Amino acid sequence: MTDTAEVLVVGAGLGGLSAAMFLARRGVRTVIVEKHPGTSIYPKAAGQNPRTMELLRIGGLLDQVSQANDLRGQQGDFTIRVAESVGGKVLHTFAESVDDMMAATAPCTPQGWGFLAQDQMEPILLAQAEKHGAVVRYGTELVSFEQGPSGVDALVRDSETGKESVVHADYLVAADGPDSPVRERLGISRHGHGVLSHFIGVIFEADLSAVLPPGSVGWYYLQNPAFTGNFGPTDKPNRHTFFVEYSPERSESPEDFPPSRCVELIRLAVNMPELEPKLLNIQQWEMAAHIADRWRDGRVFLVGDAAKVTPPTGGLGGNTAIGDGYDIAWKLAEVVKGAAGTGLLDSYEPERKQVAELVVDESMSVYAHRMAPHLIGTVPAGVGYAEVLLGFRYRSGAVLIDDPDPAPVEDPLRPSGRPGFRAPHVWITRAGSRMSTVDMVGEWMLIAADERWRGADARVHTFVVGTDFEEDDPAGRVVTRYGIGESGASLVRPDGIVAWRTASPVPGALPAVLDKLHVRQLPGSAGPHR
């Protein structure tokens, strides 16, 4: 039996479910296969930064995510402690204030922060993907795949019955994790710092009210004489996570951590020698920093941990996976629906790989300062958290950069509106409602300063300043922030990135600009599938 799809997604983590959800919302026939029986049970990859929230708004999930876990209203600041044990001697403490987090990004974006962990976020993405027609097959493993001129043929196997079937798709998105069998079969190598440490992760239930204050929110980096590890709460009462580091160099292995030893270590970690924790799951985990050398092979694209792996310090990994999913989704949708030539897909790797480099450097810098001070001075210092989130610049054939500045980021508090950067956030009033220019993002959009731009190309949604919306803040004028003067226009992509701009009234140039950005093929020509 052969199933057909326009896109096959392998792996249903944050990256895979995001890609499937965004594809399905754009009307792309999508099948996703995942070898595990259901969504993740692990409360990891917690938090959605404002850039992710911007994308989730486009996906129709902003209100649901915001309501599911309004951390600011329910909990206090996130406190990080370096201690010998939970409830024991504290060596160092610092807090990540929710108010400070909000204040740092509020001038740059209309969106705040979300605080869902992966076990909460995945079901939301899954429901939205299925709502829009994506077919999600859990307990189904990719066995093999072959690329050809007409698409990808993938052999998949039902884990319960052993029955095999074929899925034929135009494209394959590999979101199958850090050990990505798809990446390995394609022979794609990786670069980076490599493996940083090995952990055994335990999810357990226990009443820790004797050592944890009510409503405690935070994370412990444990420097115990008997072990090194981490401890953190989950969103469920009396459920906790514990990670203990082990060293293969000292001949240690996962087999050295049976349930009985995990119980002993948990007792030491929480300083409760009589505790009887209920172990729910034990799993090995590897902290590493890798970036794939290639993110595309013909009709196959890598997203999420298959493309890059970063330390969890800084909370950037899961957010970047969702960003990967959105980027490949809107581009594949344009191609399979005939709006763009296949050359548009060449922009995926340079754009997302650049972001991955920034993310890994920033995460490594935080890791060194929090957990590995011996690495300080040997790893990049990072360009700044807000710059990585909201000040990155894309460089590819899908943006028409008009300046020689080689910098990979800009200060998001002082947005320039230049091509390659995010469209600036400016408060406006449209149809009687206060909103941001960023809230209009989702399809190709033209923000114009002159009525002469209206109708310049039917492929874009045109918004003329003073006609389609009014500016709320005279000090933050749209024409100034977007750099379009009194007669120009700014062309914004479906991901909110400025693709082209001009300060001159040249509406007749827009169709050619769009054709160039879409990498239109000449009639009868074959699209590249390198």
Per-residue pLDDT, averaged over 316-320, amounts to 94
Q: Is 90 exceeded by the pLDDT of residue 490?
A: yes
Task: Note whether 148 and 64 are same-domain residues.
Answer: yes
Q: Is 50 exceeded by the pLDDT of residue 221?
A: yes
Task: Note whether 57 and 146 are same-domain residues.
Answer: yes
What is the per-residue pLDDT across 424-473, written as a single tens digit (0 to 9) for each?
999 999 999 999 999 999 999 999 999 999 999 999 999 999 999 998 87
Residue at 29 is within a domain: yes
Task: Note whether 411 and 274 are same-domain residues.
Answer: no
- Active site residues per annotation: 221
Determine contact, residues 283/201, Cβ cutoff 8 Å.
yes
Q: Is 50 exceeded by the pLDDT of residue 282?
A: yes
Task: Note whether 494 and 397 are same-domain residues.
Answer: yes
Q: Is 50 exceeded by the pLDDT of residue 140?
A: yes
Residue at 378 is within a domain: no
pTM of the model: 0.91
Task: Note whether 41 and 6 are same-domain residues.
Answer: yes
Residue 235 banded pLDDT, cuts 50, 70, 90: confident
CA end-to-end distance (rounded Å), the chain: 29
What is the per-residue pLDDT across 321-366, written as a single tens digit (0 to 9) for each?
999 999 999 999 999 999 999 999 999 999 999 999 999 999 998 8
The whole-number pLDDT of residue 153 equals: 97
Task: Note whether 179 and 257 are same-domain residues.
Answer: no
If DSSP states are collapsed to H, E and C, what string results for 116-180?
CCHHHHHHHHHHHHHHCCCEEEECEEEEEEEEECCEEEEEEEECCCCCEEEEEEEEEEECCCCCC
The whole-number pLDDT of residue 302 equals: 98
DSSP, collapsed to helix, strand or coil, labels residue 512 as helix
**Which CATH number fits the domain that encloses residue 425?**
3.40.30.120
The whole-number pLDDT of residue 113 equals: 86
Residue at 371 is within a domain: no
Percent of the chain at pLDDT > 70 equals 93
What is the per-residue pLDDT across 349-358, written as a single tens digit (0 to 9) for each?
999 999 999 9
The whole-number pLDDT of residue 530 equals: 35
Which residue has better confidence, 7 or 40? 7
**Which CATH number fits the domain that encloses residue 276?**
3.30.9.10
The whole-number pLDDT of residue 440 equals: 96
Per-residue pLDDT, averaged over 271-294, amounts to 94
Q: Please give the residue range of the domain that contains residue 252.
A: 191-288
**Which CATH number fits the domain that encloses residue 172?**
3.50.50.60
**Domain C-terminal end among 340, 375, 403:** 340
What average pLDDT does the structure give for the chain?
Answer: 90
Q: How many distinct structural domains can be found in the chain?
A: 3
Task: Note whether 169 and 265 are same-domain residues.
Answer: no
Task: Note whether 128 and 273 are same-domain residues.
Answer: no
- Alpha carbon distances (Å) from 262 to 276, 412, 465, 471: 11, 45, 62, 59
Task: Note whether 513 and 425 are same-domain residues.
Answer: yes
Residue at 109 is within a domain: no
Helix (H), strand (E) at residue 430? strand 427-430
The whole-number pLDDT of residue 523 equals: 38
Task: Note whether 307 and 455 are same-domain residues.
Answer: no
Residue at 106 is within a domain: no
Q: Is 50 exceeded by the pLDDT of residue 526?
A: no
The whole-number pLDDT of residue 475 equals: 64
Which residue has better confidence, 393 or 372? 393
Give the side-chain half-sphere CA count within 13 A for 32: 33
Q: Is 60 exceeded by the pLDDT of residue 71?
A: no
Angle between helices 317-336 and 348-370 (to 10 degrees): 180
Task: Note whether 148 and 238 are same-domain residues.
Answer: no
The whole-number pLDDT of residue 522 equals: 34
Residue at 499 is within a domain: yes
**Domain C-terminal end among 244, 266, 288:** 288
Residue at 90 is within a domain: no
DSSP, collapsed to helix, strand or coil, labels residue 467 as coil
Q: Name the amino acid, one letter, at 255.
A: E
The whole-number pLDDT of residue 211 equals: 87
**Domain C-terminal end among 321, 340, 359:** 340
Residue 145 banded pLDDT, cuts 50, 70, 90: very high
Residue 7 banded pLDDT, cuts 50, 70, 90: very high
Residue at 376 is within a domain: no
Per-residue pLDDT, averaged over 102-123, amounts to 87
The whole-number pLDDT of residue 521 equals: 45
Per-residue pLDDT, averaged over 467-481, amounts to 85
Task: Note whether 134 and 16 are same-domain residues.
Answer: yes
